[in-house]
Structure 1
Amino acid sequence: MQGTRIALATAARMLVAAVTLAACTLPRSGPTASDIIRGSNQSELGIHLVDVTPQIAAITRPIETTTISSAFTGAGVLSPETIRAGDTISVRVWENVDNGILAGVGQRAANLEALRVGQSGDIFVPYVGEVRASGKTPDELRQDIAAKLASQTPDPQVEVARVAGDGATVSVMGGVRNPGIFPIDTSTRRISAMLAKAGGVSTVPDVAQIRVERGGNIGKIWLQDLYDNPALDIALRPNDQIVVEEDRRSFTALGATSGQARVAFNKRDMSALEAIATSGGLDFRTADPTGIFVFRDETADVANRVVGGGNLVGPQRMAYLIDLTQPEGVFAARDFVIQDEDTVYITEAPLASWSRVIAIATATASLGRTVDVLTD
């Protein structure tokens, strides 16, 4: 019995020693605000510490990432009646004789169905040969065929109709309900109508972007801009590729927050306040509201304006400091826009470390009393 008590006492003393040692190396989520401030004063680290103010928020506001050039917006509406290579047309010919060259015996009309316009832009009409169709309207093609048939049969009457518009199609992919290849017709000559034809956008509108590829050129617009600005509802061209996709930007949230993770943007312009809220908010037990940092590699142009002049060259490491205990800091955080690949780091309050020390000290004292009891 005595040996058992001695063994328990020895184990308890070892545990007390381990807890005491742990108190000397307390774990934490990362550097404190004072650590980062000291680091910014070391020139060899190349970190620029900047307090976020409404002025700084305005300077660092990102330039619009979606662009649509005049090559897209300046294109006129395509006529759905223009015949193109790949289209299918029908030709109907009436002859003023009983025994015509195209119509059967006892018939006056001949139907030439499903004439496909070849890649050369021509169609073949019996007794006429190759006739240029691409680039013409059905009425223009009708006149050409009638003129060429006039030498074969007296006063022919011709009717031409564009049956299918496969020669003028666009592909719609990504975040739509019914992706596919669709013809440009009277009702789908603009991008908004074509998206509706594809079943509408299935991506969340706040983060939906539309990418249009045309002849090697790429244009991007936000879906919301398409709603708000009719000038961006561009006219479509054959072989356009329309891709609806979600915003791919993200930031990293670290430190004294309940949601340490890589976080996707959930809106077009996300402020620092919204980024903190989206990542789970401040941990009320440990977070230091005076020490919220946004780490970013800033361009030299922006960095020079932020630090008030200079000759900085190349990307610059910036540590933007936000103090949410001050009214100006709250407004600045609301105006400060988070950018792709930013790191939002919430430091721990000094009291948080002391709380852990006190908790460990309390546990140590409790274990010490247990040792005394076991020893006695």
Structure 2
Amino acid sequence: MRSSKVTGVAAVAVATALLGGCATLPASGPTTEQIDPPSVSNTAIKDYLLVDLNQRVVDVLSQYRAAPFSKRFAAPQPAPGQIVGVGDVLSVQLFEAGQGGLFSSDLGARVSLTQRVDSDGSITVPYAGRISAAGAGPQTVEKRIVAALEGRAIQPQALVQITETVSRSFVVNGEVGKPGRFPITAAGDRVLDAIATAGGAKNELFQTRVTLVRGSSQASAIMKTLVDNPADNVFVQPGDRVYLTKDPELFLAFGAVPQPGPIMFDLERISLLEAVGKAGGLMDQRSDPGALFVFRYEPASAARAIRPDYDGRFGERVPMVYRVNLRDPAAYFYAKAFVVRDKDVLYVANAKLSELQKFLQILATARNVAQTAQTVQRLSQQ
């Protein structure tokens, strides 16, 4: 009998020892204490910056705009006019003042030619020979042709137009109506103009990712960002490549919510309060309303605006954790104004009572195991 009691006590003791800390309990994520250790201040957290959401933070974030294109691809509007480049196709029309000249025919004293600029930058004009064209404007090419025909043709004149340009063009591919290569207009084209020229995007603005490649540099942004932030709608440059892909915005929900996992945006703008609703709200039996967290990366400029004490240790991409206490009625206004971004992580921690209930359930299981062990031992002794 003494042996059976020892067996039961030992089983319970082992279970209690193993479950002495919250970290040993089954959970869907970290506890509030693990995210915000009570023994240290926020500035002492080494892996991320923890910020309590309030009106000031919401105001800073509402004014801040990411600038994926304007900072990397800032370029002035192209100068008015066109420049001939290698590979361009030119329409050349030659005129004489009277009949009987070099270009006289039944149609009159004129001739029309189509010339592609060779790799050496020149075109060939009858009776004028090789004319340098690349790097010059159409009017300059006209003057060079007329100068080469002086003394041969009767008061020659020339008209040069660029009908197809390769050197001053851009390429649009992907989820657009008419992908292809297009010339840059004399007035200049911005990214959204280029997309419109290619037939427009096939998908919604907030489901379309635009990638701009210029030389060895590239950046991506959701198309709606270019619409909302005109500074990011930069001018395309010769040789630019624009790619459109369907990349729906989504956020990830974890923890004590009924519908964890990736949740797609079905609106152009989703607030934190709407995101919680899309995840099914908070689970009454498990969640801690005072421990709603949003994990995301912020540029260093935004981090410094929110936390002036930020020491810059994370570089240009700062891991930020925003904490929202929904026990505070004012927090609902903050959460409604806080805009969720693509790939944000929403996490709701378990309530401490839920952790206690888990512990008691496992402890009850351990007691049942101990009782079973006693029964087996007693039967074996009979």
Report whether the alignment pairs 1:84 with 2:85. Answer: yes
Larger displacement relative to structure 2 (153-162 or 210-219): 210-219
Distance in 2, matches of 1:318 and 1:186, equals 45
Q: Is the 8 A contact 2:177 2:201 kept in 1?
A: yes
For 1:183 and 1:275, the matched residues in 2 are separated by: 43
Which piece of structure 1 moves more, 186-195 or 175-184?
Answer: 186-195
Distance 2:215 2:117 in 1: 22
C-alpha distance in 2 between matches for 1:255 and 1:70 = 37
1:118 maps onto 2:118 in alignment:
yes
User: Secondary structure of the equivalent of 1:41?
Assistant: coil
Would you say 1:349 and 2:351 are equivalent positions? yes
Deviations 1:175-211 (A, max 9, x none): 3233221123479845433322211112431354544
**Shift, 1:284, TM fit:** 3.7
1:290 partner letter:
G
Do 2:287 and 2:349's aligned partners in 1 also have CA atoms closer than 8 Å? Answer: yes
Could you tell me how far apart the structure 2 residues matched to 1:273 and 1:131 are?
A: 68
| Alignment of structure 1 residues 37-186 onto 2, 5 Å | 37=36, 39-42=37-40, 46-47=44-45, 50-58=51-59, 63-66=64-67, 67-68=69-70, 72=74, 74-76=76-78, 78-79=80-81, 82-94=83-95, 96-98=98-100, 100-101=101-102, 109=109, 111=111, 113-136=113-136, 138=138, 140-156=140-156, 158-185=158-185
Amino acid at match of 1:41: S
Asked whether 1:254 is paired with 2:249, we answer no
Q: Distance in 1 between matches of 2:283 and 2:129?
A: 81
Matched, 1:194 2:197: no
CA contact (8 A) 2:78 2:187 kept: no
**Native 8 Å contact 2:292 2:324 kept in 1:** yes
How many Å apart are 1:117 and its aligned residue? 1.5
Q: Aligned pair in 2 of structure 1 residues 326, 131: CA closer, same or farther (>3 Å)?
A: same
1:335 and 1:237 map into 2 onto residues whose CA distance is 37
Q: Percent identity?
A: 27
* Alpha-carbon separation, structure 1, partners of 2:303 and 2:322: 11
In 1, Cα distance between equivalents of 2:116 and 2:94:
17
Taking a change above 3 Å as real, the CA distance of residues 127 and 31 of structure 1, as seen in their structure-2 partners, is closer
Contact 1:78 1:236 in 2 (8 A): no
Question: How far is the alpha carbon of 1:327 from its aligned partner?
Answer: 0.8
Change (3 A) 1:259 1:123: same
Aligned partner of 1:4 in structure 2 is none
Distance 1:188 1:304 in 2: 36
Aligned to 1:330: 332
1:208/1:286 CA distance change after superposition, 3 Å? same
Q: Distance in 1 between matches of 2:43 and 2:192?
A: 50
- Give the 3 Å change call, closer, same or farther, for CA 62–247 of structure 1 in structure 2: farther
1:366 offset after TM fit, Å?
11
Q: Which amino acid aligns with 2:329?
A: P
TM-score by length of 1: 0.68
What is the deviation of 1:136?
4.9
State the distance in 1 between where 2:250 and 2:196 align.
29
Change (3 A) 1:311 1:147: closer
SS of residue matched to 2:66: coil
Moved more, 296-305 or 321-330: 296-305
Distance 1:228 1:306 in 2: 22
**Structure 2, unpaired ranges of 5+:** 1-7, 20-24
Following the alignment from structure 2 to structure 1, what is the Cα–Cα distance between the partners of residues 233 and 247?
20
Residue identity opposite 1:253 in structure 2: A
Pick closer, same or farther for the CA change 1:191–1:112 going to 2, 3 Å.
Answer: same
SS in 1 for 2:145: helix
The 3-state SS of whatever aligns with 1:290 is strand
Could you tell me which runs of 5 or more consecutive residues in structure 1 were left unpaired when the two chains were aligned: 1-13
**Alignment of structure 1 residues 238-317 onto 2, 5 Å:** 238-245=238-245, 252-261=252-261, 271-295=271-295, 312=311, 314-315=313-314
* Alignment length (residue pairs): 359
SS at match of 1:273: helix
Aligned residues of 2:252 and 2:262 also touching (Cα < 8 A): yes
User: Could you tell me how far apart the structure 2 residues matched to 1:148 and 1:261 are?
Assistant: 73
TM superposition score normalised by structure 2: 0.67
| 2-structure distance, mates of 1:57, 1:35 | 25
Aligned to 1:27: 26
